[in-house]
Amino acid sequence: MKPYCPPSEPHPVRDKFAAARRELSSALIEREDEVDLALTALIANEHVLLVGPPGCGKSLLLDSLLAWTGGAKFSILLTKFTAVEEVMGPVSLVGLKEDRYVRVTAGKLPEADYAFVDEVFKGSSAILNCLLKILNERVYDAGDGAARAVPLKLCLGASNEWPSPDTGKELSALFDRFTLRKTVSPIRSRTGRARLLWTPDHTPRLSSTITPAEVEQARRSAAALPWSEDAKQALEAVLAELAREGVRPGDRRQFKTVGVVRAFAFLNGADAVRPEHLEVAQHCLWDCPEEHPQKVAQAIARVANPAGMRIAQLLLEVESVLAATDVRNLAAAAKAAAKLGEVDKQLAGLDGHTRMETARRYVREQLRTLKLASIEAI
């Protein structure tokens, strides 16, 4: 997902983020976008929601980040039977003896630097209300009415499915607390599948660590990045186009997107926000997961035309061609092969983007598989 950016002044903390980005993306198979979202969220002080089947590396990504940054992690799988005490901590017996209602939060969410909440939409109303305040305001009430700050730097929410459009107010509010949201798919390429099967250990090995002070320095540096006039006009044009298509993200989501794009520009080593950095906004500027993400991606691609968006579109086109092709029909197979060849040429024209070669390898693998399947079907 990394667009080309002109080099900026040396920045040791940004160099650490760049190295971690490379090492995480190299170790976590076909999870470059998810790595980018997690690092961007960490810089922007936001949270990430990943939706997809179990076993796609969501928890491993957070564990790897935790190994890099240090700190305390809280992890939980929510069900309708999960008690508030499992998330917030039990009520203090000593406090009750003193006629005080307070919770013992050691090892629970209020004391975590990082949180992984699986099946985040399955919790009870009481749990959802607790999560809302912690995720948005970074405070919690231990039971005595006093708001206490939490050290939470990043919450990675996970779910097997998107919430339905008719969900209640609490669930909609929780959904909105995750500024960055993305569908996670299983490994697609043959090369990725081979790495998954035959590499004994997929745990990333990071060459550096980063301190909380350095993370805060990255946040301040990102927040100070100016928006170029072209980028401002591009974002306003995207929002106007989305409004014409019936996609109207809330005011808070639009405002937070500005910070997210700044963080993404910082992660990419830019000295200012440029139109190509709007690529990351495709994961922010929507509310309805059934149709809005595609409309947002298309609008950003039309207005800002970042190379990463074009790569994603071409790969989706490849998947569509493959799904519609009957390899036993030689004419259809030949037509599909020609189409994949055209896509490969278009990808080659996007030179300078880090994902271009990976995408081309994937397309060539699918082309080779298609030809072999057609030969076997004769």
Q: Evaluate if residue 6 carries a pLDDT over 50.
A: no
Whether residues 317 and 194 fall in one domain: no
Residue 44 forms part of a structural domain:
yes
Q: Say if residues 127 and 78 touch (Cβ distance below 8 Å).
A: yes
Q: Say if residues 74 and 115 touch (Cβ distance below 8 Å).
A: yes
Residue 366 forms part of a structural domain:
yes
Whether residues 57 and 188 fall in one domain: yes
153, 183, 198: which is the final residue of a domain?
Answer: 198
Residue 94 forms part of a structural domain:
yes
Residue 301 forms part of a structural domain:
no
198, 223, 256: which is the final residue of a domain?
Answer: 198
Residue 244 forms part of a structural domain:
no
User: Mean pLDDT over residues 250-255, rounded?
Assistant: 94
Helix axes 58-69, 12-27, angle to 10 degrees: 150
Residue 219 forms part of a structural domain:
no
The domain in which residue 114 lies consists of 12-198
Residue 260 forms part of a structural domain:
no
pLDDT in tens, 197-241: 999 988 899 999 999 999 999 999 999 999 999 999 999 999 999
165, 198, 231: which is the final residue of a domain?
Answer: 198
Q: What is the pTM of this model?
A: 0.83
pLDDT score recorded for residue 378 = 64
State how many domains the chain has: 2
CATH number, domain with residue 133: 3.40.50.300
* Cα–Cα separations (whole angstroms), residue 208 to 31, 145, 299: 20, 41, 38
Q: Give the whole-number percent of the chain exceeding pLDDT 90.
A: 55
